[in-house]
């Protein structure tokens, strides 16, 4: 096990820079999830950690060793690929023991370690099979087993679950988590699925366009997103946003709707801001704002309602059963303490509570 330090790392392909100085500190034993939309550079960063891509600038250290110039095999990492990349001409046992064989470990030791990991992953019955004779979930487990057999300092995962169906994904998610609890190996896990990030991570790193937008614990990111991008990316359904201005200490939407803030934001008079509110922080309130119902989607436990409020479409999630029809009016209020304000131009969150 080891900590990982990524310090101002850059990556360019020719003229094109795709990572613009990324810094992340990962503690020993931590489960860190890199999350972000497609093309933001997650895989590139992971592959640089693994040693499959050159580092164009900055420094990566595993433990107290700078690994910039080291070959993958000298870095003591193991990686699970999105496509699994199992060796098709080798049995499950050979696949899992390949790294030990290359390291010229004694045969019995290899067999023992493979057997132990296989038992942990429920693969003992499949050791003689070839990858083509396994289901998707089993292949996924073999890929993980291949990484675990080596007992590396750091595990790297690149979207390991994206080829599985929804149900299996949930199951494998918790299996990966359990294995992490058992082994406590430092893990860097790449995904573009924010639910995976929320449920698995000790720490989430939100990336966007080659930079880090925010680093924090899942709930920290959920409750205090640093900017509009993180606010929109973390959470499903996404946070609602309404454009407007600060006027008279409160928020005024573009169409003149007044929304009360928990504090008088007088310092920001006339500033363009974007108001953000999570769907579950809308309350049914007869004295609240009148909003037109666009759609009603009951999911059983709760009801999702798409509303038009202050000229914007916003989503509310309510524990109550809503029996209204589209076109009717629903009265809702926003929990003032849960309102976030973001700067109209930069999209950065305004910490108006402190400022006020």
Partner 1 sequence: MNKLPTLKRPGLPGWLILSGSVLLVLVCLFPFWWMVLSSVKTLRELYTVPPIWWPAAPTWENYRTVLFDSNIPRYFLNSIIISVGSTGLALVLAIFASYGFARFNFKGKPLLQSFVLVGQLLPTAAIIVPLFVTLRVLNLVNTYWGLILVYMIITLPLSVWMLTSYFKNIPVELEEAAIIDGASRLECLFRITLPLSLPGLASVMVYAFVTTWNEFIFALCFATDSSVKTLPIGLAEFSTEFNTDWGAVMAASVVMTLPIAILFLSMQRLFVGGLTAGATKG
Ligand X SMILES: Nc1ncnc2c1ncn2[C@@H]1O[C@H](COP(=O)(O)OP(=O)(O)OP(=O)(O)O)[C@@H](O)[C@H]1O
Give contact residues for Mg ion (rule: CB under 5 A). Answer: 43
Question: Binding string, 31-50, against partner 1, x = CB under 8 A?
Answer: -------------------x
Q: Which is nearer to ligand X, 38 or 299 (CB)?
A: 38
Distance, CA of 145 to CA of 160 (rounded, Å): 13
- Residue 323's binding partner among Mg ion, ligand X, partner 1, none (Cβ under 5 to 8 angstroms by kind) is none
Q: Which is nearer to ligand X, 16 or 301 (CB)?
A: 16
Sheet holding 282-298, edge to edge: 312-318, 303-309, 282-298, 329-334
Helix or strand (DSSP H, E) at 296: strand 282-298
Number of residues that bind ligand X (CB under 6 A): 12
Report the 10 Å Cβ neighbour count for 146. 24
Whose tokens are 């110039």? That residue is 69
- Piece of the chain touching partner 1 by CB under 8 A; list 75-83, 174-182, 186-194, 273-281: 75-83
Please state the separation of Cα 8 from the chain's center in Å: 21
- Residue 192's binding partner among partner 1, Mg ion, ligand X, none (Cβ under 5 to 8 angstroms by kind) is ligand X
Q: Does 52 bind partner 1 (CB under 8 A)?
A: yes
Site for ligand X in 177-236 (CB under 6 A): 192
Q: Which is nearer to ligand X, 8 or 272 (CB)?
A: 8
- Piece of the chain touching partner 1 by CB under 8 A; list 20-28, 85-93, 200-208, 275-283: 85-93
Q: Which is nearer to Mg ion, 43 or 138 (CB)?
A: 43
Distance, CA of 311 to CA of 114 (rounded, Å): 60
Please identify which residue in 14, 69, 88, 106 interacts with partner 1, judged by CB under 8 A. 88
CA end-to-end span of the chain: 45
Distance, CA of 202 to CA of 208 (rounded, Å): 20
Two tokens, residue 248: 């008279």
Q: What share of the chain is helix, strand, coil (3-state, %, to 5)?
A: 30, 35, 35
Residues that bind ligand X (CB under 6 A): 13, 16, 18, 36, 38-44, 192
């Amino acid at each position: 096990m080891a900590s990982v330090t990524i310090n101002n790392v850059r990556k360019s392909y020719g003229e094109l820079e795709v990572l613009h100085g990324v810094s992340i500190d990962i503690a020993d034993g931590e489960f860190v999830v890199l999350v972000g939309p497609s093309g933001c550079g997650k895989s590139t960063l992971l592959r640089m950690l693994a040693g499959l891509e050159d580092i164009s600038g900055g420094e990566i250290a595993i433990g107290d060793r700078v690994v910039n110039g080291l070959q993958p095999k000298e870095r003591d990492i193991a990686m699970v690929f999105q496509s699994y990349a199992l060796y098709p001409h080798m049995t499950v046992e050979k696949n899992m023991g390949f790294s030990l064989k290359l390291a010229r470990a004694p045969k019995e030791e290899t067999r023992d370690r493979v057997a132990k990991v296989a038992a942990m992953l429920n693969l003992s019955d499949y050791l003689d099979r070839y990858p083509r004779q396994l289901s998707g979930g089993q292949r996924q487990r073999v890929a993980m087993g291949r990484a675990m057999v080596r007992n590396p300092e750091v595990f790297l995962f690149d979207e390991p679950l994206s080829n599985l169906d929804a149900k299996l994904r949930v199951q494998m998610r918790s299996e990966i988590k359990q294995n992490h609890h058992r082994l406590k190996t430092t893990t860097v896990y790449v995904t573009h699925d924010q639910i995976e990030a929320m449920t698995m991570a000790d720490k989430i790193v939100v990336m966007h366009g080659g930079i880090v937008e925010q680093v924090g614990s899942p709930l920290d990111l959920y409750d205090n997103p640093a900017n509009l991008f993180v606010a929109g990316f973390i959470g499903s359904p996404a946070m609602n946003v309404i454009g407007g201005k600060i006027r008279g200490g409160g928020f005024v939407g573009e169409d003149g709707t007044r929304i009360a803030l928990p504090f008088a934001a007088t310092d920001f008079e006339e500033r363009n801001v974007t108001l953000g509110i999570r769907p579950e922080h809308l309350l049914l309130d007869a004295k609240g704002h009148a909003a037109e119902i666009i759609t009603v989607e009951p999911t059983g436990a709760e009801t999702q309602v798409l509303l038009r409020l202050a000229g914007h479409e916003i989503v509310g999630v309510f524990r109550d059963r809503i029996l209204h029809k589209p076109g009717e009016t629903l009265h809702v209020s926003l929990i003032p303490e849960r309102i976030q304000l973001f700067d109209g131009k930069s999209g950065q969150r305004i910490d108006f509570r402190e400022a006020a």
